[in-house]
Structure 1
């Protein structure tokens, strides 16, 4: 597993975001920011220039798929989606790396590795 990644979390549930940040820090990564809306995700990606983004598929303001599509217009950033409804998210982004909630550390690690290896932008249906 690659260590020391600079990661942006996009999650609108503050408790989940904090738990995920703690887990990633414990894995040796740097969580440079947490965004909670689609527009914050875009601004944060520009500012932080992360190695990886971990994105909730459904946000209260906007959604993760659209955020990653917009970010990809300025340059691809490896990312994976975390969601409570992986089947629905896969319909909107069939080539995406998706980890279902709740997830284990092993599933998250596999998702991170897959996202880093993919280089495939969010689907532009």
Structure 2
């Protein structure tokens, strides 16, 4: 897989760090890690990532809404993480969703699916 510049939105610092380490081990570059929807939108504009991995629920904000805002400006491949994947799929039926907890293989498959989905559009 071609190395990607990835933006992570996760409000649990330890989880964000672990995801970043796995991504680095896969050869990707984490351009930024943020913990709120507002930071996610700002970082996407600033860093222009090739992929966004966003927690669907960011403390008091919505990763879903933040990604929807970003998509109005740029078609960025994205993956949502959630402890309740069914709820995310109910809101966004075509979304690629990783149910927490997930493993490295699940993450790799989700990345490949997100990139393929954008290329097919």
**Fold-level match, TM-score > 0.5?**
yes
| 1:68 paired to 2:67 | yes
Quick one: distance in 1 between partners of 2:72 and 2:100?
28
Unaligned runs of 5+ in 1: 121-125
Q: Alignment length, in residue pairs?
A: 119
Quick one: distance in 2 between partners of 1:87 and 1:50?
26
2:84 — aligned with what? 85
Q: Deviations over 1:46-74 (max 9, x none)?
A: 00000100010111131111011000111
Q: Normalization by structure 1: what TM-score?
A: 0.92
2:40 — aligned with what? 41
| 1:13 paired to 2:17 | no
Quick one: distance in 2 between partners of 1:119 and 1:67?
18
Q: Normalization by structure 2: what TM-score?
A: 0.95
Unaligned runs of 5+ in 2: none
2:103 — aligned with what? 104
Does the 8 Å CA contact 1:80/1:115 hold for their aligned counterparts?
yes
Q: Deviation above 3 Å: which 4+ runs of structure 1? A: none
Matched residue of 1:15: which SS?
Answer: helix
Quick one: distance in 2 between partners of 1:92 and 1:41?
19
- Once the two structures are TM-superposed, the CA of residue 21 in structure 1 deviates from its matched residue by 0.3
